[in-house]
Amino acid sequence: MRDVGESRQNRDFDPHSERWFYPRARTMTPLSTSVRQPIHFVIDLDLLNFVETLPLSIEELVEISAHDRTSQDSRQSSPSSTCLRQMMAASAVNCLHVARELLTAPLMLDVCHDGGGSSGERLQALYICHDGLLEPRGTSQAVPHVCSLADAGVRMMVLSFEGSTRQPDSGKAKELRARLESHGIEWIALRHHRGLRVAAVMLDLLSGIAAAFRLARTKRPRVVHGRGYVAGIMAWTVKLLFRSRLVFDMRGFWPEESVELGQFRTHGLLYRLSKGSERYLLNAADHVVVLTESAKAILRDREASARMATRRAVPETPITVIPCCTDLERFHPQRPDRNLLREHDLEGCVVIGNIGAVNKRYMLSEMFRLAFHVKSHRPETRFVYLTRHDDTSVRAEARRAGLRNEDLLVFGVEPEEVPRWLSLFRFGVFFLRPSYAAKGSSYAKLAEFLACGVPVVTNKGVGDIDDILGSNQCGLVVPGLRDSDLATAARQTLAFLDGDGVPQDVRDRCRATAARLFAIDEAARQYLAIYTGLAFPEQANTQTSVAVELD
């Protein structure tokens, strides 16, 4: 490419883009008749000729790299350095592959969505999810959302990244694909790269951009939905090239969460890059979705601070709060499962517990100390932890808190088995480290506990949980996590342990709270309203005006 500082005497000026360009460069103009100014892409012919002659795809490069590794002497290079070179080479070749896709598609900008549309026009949306649909979070959150949107008439395309342990040709993947196809959903599953974090994310990002580009070039989605930061960047490229409306689904404050998990260093390169991406996506998004009212308040405070600092009008991006929800048909109050009680020797026991991941954000020691204090009042108490995490570290933490091995059950179960286990719980308990990141956090386990009529014990300062549990009287918010605070909280939980099960009034309040705040169908309706408002703004404005007149 020519140096941008080169003299302008050999260049022409484009009045539309107000930019200088070289006459021998190839310029592509959108064919749309929109009143918007056309966008001109200035491309050096030498680069275009080079990328068009590239013979390799990323799959071919990986195959060649694997062959080279098996044929070389292991003493010449360490496995880690070899892996790094392969991933960097794959990233470079895939980048050129994406460039070849972009530069050789003259009709790729033949779309410009300015809203409107007839009432009979079907909305088309691209949903990009960096988490796998076969992972627990994808199965419980993303899949019900896209299925409900498809049932509401949206033509959905889903692009997800599946881990190596759940390949797209596995039995569960085939079942999920059949389920999605029955709703008319097109699913593209890409490999979720593991290993070196920077290189793996770059590989995911490049392969995701290429796949999203191919889909958008042929399907022309009016709305592109990025679930998370990495998916948000992929979705932004679709917005940039095809003028689709961008929904940035934040899913919490990922940079701060990554610092707490030990994946990023505070103010390190990855942290700064992710924070820069966050700022850019928040500015570029047509609509932002967050998990908690606390997160929305933080974003509004940022906008207010920006107005004060720049003394200019900073546009207010529409923000909608949609917490982690659950399927109320799957999760509902039911009588204790007698088969599970007999199978795991829990008959006559008081069962409390937790479900989900184990990581540095959760305070296991405090959780098990609460169980220890509860057991001092009710010796028949047993703690059940349903997690896929290795039980060695969990049991070690429980022993340090004073529990014995026979007081604890730790094992993983399939998602469809979770409601059966929750029928045994007298209350659920989890503690999260209070922090800036925790204010934007919402947990599906909270919705699942409440939907099954199980009260929840947790600590304050986590998302909107203070208001949810406190105002609805469906659990206990522990103000402090010192041992004396936990002992006091254990005495307060005894009200949940009287009789043979959770008191009926408590169970009813839990269920009613879940139905009002965490119904998956209501979340889908909110997403549908966002999609419709972005794709057909004139129609949405008309409906709003009619509603105002009727009021």
First-to-final CA distance of the chain = 60
Kindly report the pTM of this predicted structure.
Answer: 0.77
Residue 1 three-state SS: coil
Nearest to 369 by CA among 498, 477, 457, 481: 481
List, for residues 252-287, the tens digit of each pLDDT value.
Answer: 999 999 999 888 888 888 899 899 999 999 999 999
List, for residues 428-470, the tens digit of each pLDDT value.
Answer: 999 999 999 999 999 899 999 999 999 999 999 899 998 999 8
| 214-230 exposure pattern, b = at least 16 Cβ within 10 A, e = fewer | ebbbeeebbbbbbbbbb
In Å, the largest CA–CA distance within the chain is: 89
Q: What six digits make up the tokens of 270?
A: 């990855």
Comparison of pLDDT for 341 and 37, the residue scoring more = 341
The pLDDT value given to residue 40: 35
The pLDDT value given to residue 264: 87
Give the whole-angstrom CA distance, residue 109 versus residue 125.
Answer: 17
Instruction: Match 């254990």 to its residue by tokens.
Output: 490
Give the whole-angstrom CA distance, residue 490 versus residue 487.
Answer: 5
Give the pLDDT mean for 180-186: 95
- 371-380, 472-481, 535-544: the lowest-pLDDT one: 535-544
Give the whole-angstrom CA distance, residue 79 versus residue 66.
Answer: 12
Q: For the beta carbon of residue 95, count every other beta carbon within 10 angstroms.
A: 17
CB distance 82 to 198 below 8 Å: no
Is residue 120 very low, low, confident or very high in pLDDT (cuts 50, 70, 90)?
low
Q: For the beta carbon of residue 332, count every other beta carbon within 10 angstroms.
A: 16
Nearest to 333 by CA among 204, 408, 425, 463: 425
Residue 127 has pLDDT above 50, yes or no: yes
Q: How far is CA 397 from the centre of its chain?
A: 29
| CA-CA-CA-CA dihedral for 19, 20, 23, 24, to nearest 10 | -90
Residue 543 has pLDDT above 80, yes or no: no
The pLDDT value given to residue 414: 86
Is residue 168 very low, low, confident or very high in pLDDT (cuts 50, 70, 90)?
low
Is residue 210 very low, low, confident or very high in pLDDT (cuts 50, 70, 90)?
very high
Q: Which residues contact 109 (CB under 8 A, 6 or more apart)?
A: 28, 29, 30, 31, 32, 39, 41, 241, 242
| 237-268 exposure pattern, b = at least 16 Cβ within 10 A, e = fewer | bbbebbbbbbbbbbbbbbbbbbbbeeebeeee
Q: How far is CA 7 from CA 15, 250, 333, 523, in A?
A: 19, 44, 74, 55
Is residue 313 very low, low, confident or very high in pLDDT (cuts 50, 70, 90)?
confident
Give the whole-angstrom CA distance, residue 499 versus residue 448.
Answer: 23
Q: What six digits make up the tokens of 421?
A: 């286990």
Cα-only R_g, the chain: 27
Q: How far is CA 26 from the centre of its chain?
A: 39
| CA-CA-CA-CA dihedral for 430, 431, 433, 439, to nearest 10 | 70
CB distance 455 to 428 below 8 Å: yes
Question: Would the CA dihedral through 33, 34, 37, 43 be positive or negative?
Answer: negative
Q: How far is CA 91 from CA 2, 41, 59, 77, in A?
A: 24, 24, 11, 20
Give the whole-angstrom CA distance, residue 8 versus residue 4.
Answer: 9
DSSP class of residue 142 equals I
Give the pLDDT mean for 222-228: 96
Q: What six digits make up the tokens of 311?
A: 């003394």
Q: For the beta carbon of residue 67, count every other beta carbon within 10 angstroms.
A: 10
Give the whole-angstrom CA distance, residue 182 versus residue 367.
Answer: 42
Q: What six digits make up the tokens of 508?
A: 């009813």
Reported in sequence order, the residue ranges of 4-70 that DSSP labels E, i.e. its strands, are 12-14, 19-21, 26-28, 41-43
Question: Would the CA dihedral through 113, 116, 121, 122 be positive or negative?
Answer: positive
The pLDDT value given to residue 51: 36
Reported in sequence order, the residue ranges of 445-546 that DSSP labels E, i.e. its strands, are 456-459, 475-478
Is residue 532 very low, low, confident or very high in pLDDT (cuts 50, 70, 90)?
very high
Q: At 10, which amino acid appears?
A: N
Give the whole-angstrom CA distance, residue 401 versus residue 484.
Answer: 14
List, for residues 55-67, the tens digit of each pLDDT value.
Answer: 334 444 344 334 4
Give the whole-angstrom CA distance, residue 415 versus residue 78.
Answer: 40
The pLDDT value given to residue 500: 77
Domains in the chain (CATH in brackets) are: 8-103 (no CATH), 124-321 (3.40.50.2000), 338-518 (3.40.50.2000)
How big is the CA angle at 279 (ends 233 and 442), to the nearest 5 degrees? Answer: 80
The pLDDT value given to residue 408: 95
* Average pLDDT taken over every residue of the chain: 79
Question: Would the CA dihedral through 414, 415, 420, 422 be positive or negative?
Answer: positive
